[in-house]
Chain A
């Protein structure tokens, strides 16, 4: 080994790339904050910053589950629809039983079941995940609409609403939840064999299978987790909005994918991290927040988001192709 090190003094590019990718993104967060604090007095206030973090947390719950799916090289397009169904079912359960806890469990459970459905479509029926979860999106929307039949459910007990709009020590509760899930998710991906296997499946599914990794059961697992996290996100929305309607999650899927991609997770699988996704969600939220503070019309916001996604992917490709050329 010492001989090899002498001839090729450079350090592993694979690792430094990951670190660099997160570093660049933290840098971007810093620059955005500095710029916004100069052009808007309202930005650097405790209230606004906590608001940004709370918004980011909503993105993060969905994006963290989706990150696991994308790390395996698959996609889950049904998460927005799942948020809708979970929220509506949880809402009726809470109304009927007056138990926030039971409602929360059912909400997460509904998400997990939709996720299992996605997983089985992909692993048993061998339908490409893009198609399987796209079909699931409509199925779940359909069920939600049928279930709600145009009604809405509103008015939940205070103890339940606290998880969306409550504070602890002056900080919104969703932020604590985000930190908790970020740490847990990071541990899961980096410090368990499941996480290692998820990365390996995304890097080369065939090789992973031929290395004895139970690929199908891991794929089912990530789809279930993605659905369950959508279920969790639905509870926070529900608690904040204090009302559930059939179309509650409809617009959430694409921004969630944007957060994952901005965070540096490759849609081809095998590369990325939950921490990256956290920062990706933060960047996305900061920019939307900045545009709101500056009074930029909401009509412009999708355009800006799209440009940022393209920029992030392009920069990632540039840094990766640099390492390829040196091989």
Chain B
């Protein structure tokens, strides 16, 4: 069992000094699927007490490597060692016995069970009477593990009432309760606010000081450099390099990830012309918890909507689009008052790119082409007679225009990478001739190259007179991409920042709680 003391974090890993073997070592791991070489001769040592960053574009092999580690995939070739001894991981059970735990992006918690029940699910302590369970012990043990990572979540709360950050803490406590010595985390901060992220990092440092090895997958360069003891870069299933953070740079890393030089996001030039009012919101209140929202977006503008996670950004987007009920207030699109549902918003030329592509943006089992024309059916076929050839042509045009990497428009959307799926969602609204785009976290879970492409696409849209409202948790994106931004706090607009005051400090200043 891991015992954690709130000691100061040790700065460097102790492994080389000890001269021993790595806690876990992969050598020459390969994994092939029909048509794809997911992993190609990858060697990867993990030392106790280190945070090992795993970087690479989507499809580079990070997830496959993670799945081999946790036993979800069995490698075709290669060897694994644990403390120098040869081992085999053939199932998730094998991995768990070795103390390997994975915190996935999508959590595996049961929504209607309590925190404590989730942590000890399937491993309940037996009660005095055979066949019963000792609820009291489950609760106290759960509280103990949560306290270890500095969390004070009530163990009786049903998990569905927790926020993302708290659910993550429950996942980590669950892993620790299973004696985890190697913790694999897949983009753990992608849904966290800055304070929550700070909290998570503090906890990771404590785990590390206690000899837990952490494999950390991230697309965020700042984190990679801040936390990483070592950085391993994968590309096309191969290991490109393992580097130390103080011996590399962001551009060096990015270049290794994509295999060519790319521009990271750079600040957009000043906006020339803001045109007609595309969106105007006045005094909007909604049962979802937003109050007195006033904002506007003009044609040719990218306007940011930021604030901490949970401050009501997504709720504002959904209320504007007619996806949630509103209790009062007025939304106007292009001068026309709007009070319908998403179908009416679509007709008026508004498109929503929701925060979860897979759950809300795409019909994954349908083809790329079907998805692209989905919002444009009424426009392309006003007679309601569907012409497969016309649809196919519209889809092919969009695939070409947005450079969506797919063998054909007929491929199911689920087989595309995250970045390409995002392009399909954007393409859907382009095909529908939308003129106001609401982007909710457009770059979540997509890699550096795809991010740059998504932004280029947004710049192109506003250049041609579209209006964009963009929600993002990444402040650097807001600062670099937007013409101005609204900052939300606790369901209200805390303030508006014009271009010349658009800086991360100012956003934080407005968005932080001041109690």
User: Which among A13, A204, A327 is the interface contact of B363 at CB below 8 angstroms?
Assistant: A204
Q: Is B359 an interface residue (CB 8 A)?
A: yes
CB distance from A177 to the nearest CB of B (A): 24
A193 to B34, CA, bound (A): 35
Query: Cβ of A14 and Cβ of B342 under 8 Å apart?
Result: no
Most chain A C-beta atoms within 10 Å of own C-beta, residue among B33, B359, B366, B375: B366
Query: Cβ of A193 and Cβ of B370 under 8 Å apart?
Result: no
Q: Is B178 an interface residue (CB 8 A)?
A: no
A192 to B381, CA, bound (A): 9
Q: Is B509 an interface residue (CB 8 A)?
A: no
Most chain A C-beta atoms within 10 Å of own C-beta, residue among B347, B367, B408: B408
Q: Is A11 an interface residue (CB 8 A)?
A: yes
Which label, helix, strand, loop or mixed, suits the secondary structure of the B interface? mixed
Q: Which residues of B contact A270 (CB under 8 A)?
A: 363, 365-366
Q: Which residues of B contact A307 (CB under 8 A)?
A: none
Query: Cβ of B385 and Cβ of A192 under 8 Å apart?
Result: yes
CB-contacts of B403-458 with A (<8 A): 405-412, 414-415, 428, 432
Query: Cβ of B407 and Cβ of A212 under 8 Å apart?
Result: no
CB distance from A311 to the nearest CB of B (A): 23
Nearest opposing residue in chain B for A190, CB measure: B386
Q: Is A278 an interface residue (CB 8 A)?
A: no
User: What band does the interface of chain A fall in when counting residues whose beta carbon is under 8 Å from B?
Assistant: 35 or more
Query: Cβ of A212 and Cβ of B342 under 8 Å apart?
Result: yes
Most chain A C-beta atoms within 10 Å of own C-beta, residue among B34, B321, B343, B359: B343
Q: Is A298 an interface residue (CB 8 A)?
A: no
CB-contacts of B304-329 with A (<8 A): 321, 323
A13 to B384, CA, bound (A): 27
Check A199/B360 contact, CB under 8 A, given A209-B323, A214-B343, A326-B34: no
Most chain B C-beta atoms within 10 Å of own C-beta, residue among A11, A193, A270: A193
Check A12/B367 contact, CB under 8 A, given A204-B362, A210-B323, A212-B342: yes
Nearest opposing residue in chain B for A15, CB measure: B410
User: Which among A8, A14, A192, A209 is the interface contact of B386 at CB below 8 angstroms?
Assistant: A192
Check A208/B374 contact, CB under 8 A, given A4-B407, A5-B407, A214-B343: yes
User: Which among B33, B361, B364, B388 is the interface contact of A210 at CB below 8 angstroms?
Assistant: B361
CB distance from B15 to the nearest CB of A (A): 36
B side interface size, CB within 8 A: 50
Q: Is B35 an interface residue (CB 8 A)?
A: yes
CB-contacts of A186-221 with B (<8 A): 190-197, 199-200, 203-204, 206-214
Query: Cβ of A211 and Cβ of B374 under 8 Å apart?
Result: yes
A-B contact pairs, 18 of them (CB 8 A): A1-B396, A7-B407, A8-B407, A9-B407, A14-B367, A14-B412, A15-B410, A193-B377, A193-B381, A197-B377, A199-B366, A203-B364, A204-B359, A210-B323, A210-B342, A212-B343, A270-B363, A327-B33
Q: Which residues of A contact B374 (CB under 8 A)?
A: 196, 200, 207-208, 211, 213
Nearest opposing residue in chain B for A213, CB measure: B343
Give me the 4 closest cross-chain CB pairs, A-B, nearest first. Answer: A212-B346, A12-B410, A203-B363, A14-B412
Q: Which residues of B contact A14 (CB under 8 A)?
A: 365-367, 410-412
CB-contacts of B371-412 with A (<8 A): 373-375, 377-378, 381, 384-388, 396, 399-400, 405-412
Query: Cβ of A10 and Cβ of B370 under 8 Å apart?
Result: no
Query: Cβ of B365 and Cβ of A10 under 8 Å apart?
Result: no
